[in-house]
Amino acid sequence: MGIFDFLTGEFIDVIHWVDDTRDTVVWRFEREGHEIKYGAKLTVREGQAAVFVHEGQLADVFTPGLYMLETNNMPIMTTLQHWDHGFKSPFKSEIYFVNTTRFNDLKWGTKNPIICRDPEFGPVRLRAFGTYSMRVVDPARFMQEIVGTDGEFTTDEISFQVRNIIVQEFSRVVAGSGIPVLDMAANTGDLGKLVAQETNPVIQSYGIALPELYIENISLPPAVEAAMDKRTSMGLVGDLNAFSQYAAAEAVTKAAENPAGGGMAAGLGAGMGMAIAQGMNRGPWGAMGRAMGGTAPQAQAAPAAAPVPPPPPVEHVWHIAEGGETKGPFSKASLGRMATEGGLTRETYVWTAGQDGWMKAGDVAELAQLFTVLPPPPPPGI
């Protein structure tokens, strides 16, 4: 990892570090017992800092640049060593290179649910996870508070502590935000910025900062999500009685169309026929029914309540996704007008109840015809 050159003898002449990893935060320059020559070249690249530790004491910190290690640019070391102006002897010190670039795509998440009070659902348990980026902003403090004498310090050694701080601040921010659970998905960006703002003062005492923090998902327990799905389904159904009648009529139609139904399909058809016969023997169609050949046996035995005809099929309503927002619902007729005016194209994403996710309008059989209907050719001679 590190690269160092030696002069003849035991003196180090060149000091620098080239990092070929993506998770090393601090690396100690290995002297292997050799002394550093007075006037040696120190190269600190962009995104690095070099920290000198002499006899256990933090000394000079070098930012990016090329340095000649002399008394004029090592004031703390000069004071610690009591060097005079003419000092030019080799010296021994530990040199730590600190990576000050951003470490991205670090993960955080709640191990256990967070209990919050929702204005609509009452007490709820939330889970959340996301990513964050981290960088060292004060190399000297980071060495004192976290690294110590660790010769190769990686992000894994600090990320656990940072995750705990993030989860703690996230719990406090979400519990005090008052944002309803159903609206949190629309506010994850603002919540992430607020959590990062509250977290930074704590971790800055370690010499690090969080430039970015993202909340990817906030979820409820599976049982609560299942109840919400049922509630949503009920809202889409509307009138339960009308839906039950429609579902029964659909079941009869499918059974009659199924050749493999056998006796079951025949029985359902016979039952529907008897219901129609009973309806014809009563009301305004009674006279016509009797003129066509009498009444049904069931009607002669005991009058029954008039069967309710199945309701007409429920027309699908559609939602469209445009500019990152959901619009609708729209009827098929409205979508037809939008297609004519250019507001709906084959590439527009649409969704309706029962459809598995968003689909392009041109891929939905029921809507594809909106883009293929053309006027007939004009009459000959015009």
- Residue 145 belongs to a domain with what CATH number? 3.30.479.30
When pLDDT is cut at 50, 70 and 90, the band that residue 162 belongs to is very high
When pLDDT is cut at 50, 70 and 90, the band that residue 370 belongs to is confident
Dist CA 33 CA 93 (whole Å): 10
Please check whether residues 10 and 36 belong to one and the same domain. Answer: yes
- Of 29, 64, 99, which closes a domain? 99
Question: Residues of the chain with pLDDT > 90: what percent?
Answer: 24
Dist CA 15 CA 234 (whole Å): 71
SS3 of residue 111 by DSSP = coil
Weakest mean pLDDT among 23-37, 84-98, 117-131, 155-169: 84-98
Query: Which tokens is 126 given?
Result: 């939330």
Please check whether residues 80 and 135 belong to one and the same domain. Answer: no
- Residue of 130 and 375 predicted with greater confidence: 130
When pLDDT is cut at 50, 70 and 90, the band that residue 75 belongs to is confident
User: Is 265 domain-assigned?
Assistant: no
The boundaries of the domain holding residue 39 are: 2-99
Contact status, residue 137 vs residue 100, Cβ threshold 8 Å:
yes
Please check whether residues 116 and 91 belong to one and the same domain. Answer: no
When pLDDT is cut at 50, 70 and 90, the band that residue 236 belongs to is low
At 343-369, the pLDDT tens digits run 888 888 988 887 888 888 888 888 887
pTM of the model: 0.55
Query: Which tokens is 81 given?
Result: 């060593």
- Give per-residue burial for 351-364: e unless 16+ CB within 10 Å, then b: bbeeeeeeeebeeb
DSSP bridge pairs for 8? none
In the predicted structure, residue 65 carries a pLDDT above the cut 90: yes
In the predicted structure, residue 8 carries a pLDDT above the cut 60: no
CATH number, position 349? 3.30.1490
Q: Helix axis angle, 156-177 relative to 188-203, nearest 10°?
A: 130
- Of 66, 99, 132, which closes a domain? 99
In the predicted structure, residue 209 carries a pLDDT above the cut 70: yes
Contact status, residue 10 vs residue 35, Cβ threshold 8 Å:
yes
Instruction: Work out the mean pLDDT of the chain and round it to a whole number.
Output: 78
SS3 of residue 73 by DSSP = helix
Q: How far is CA 90 from CA 12, 57, 93, in A?
A: 9, 18, 10
In the predicted structure, residue 269 carries a pLDDT above the cut 70: no
pLDDT for residue 137:
95
User: Is 380 domain-assigned?
Assistant: no
Weakest mean pLDDT among 181-195, 254-268, 339-353: 254-268
Please check whether residues 93 and 9 belong to one and the same domain. Answer: yes
Torsion of CA 319, 214, 45, 148, to 10 degrees: -160
In the chain, what's the furthest Cα-to-Cα distance?
A: 132
75 upstream amide cis, omega within 30 of 0? no
Radius of gyration of the chain (CA): 38
- Of 99, 114, 146, which closes a domain? 99
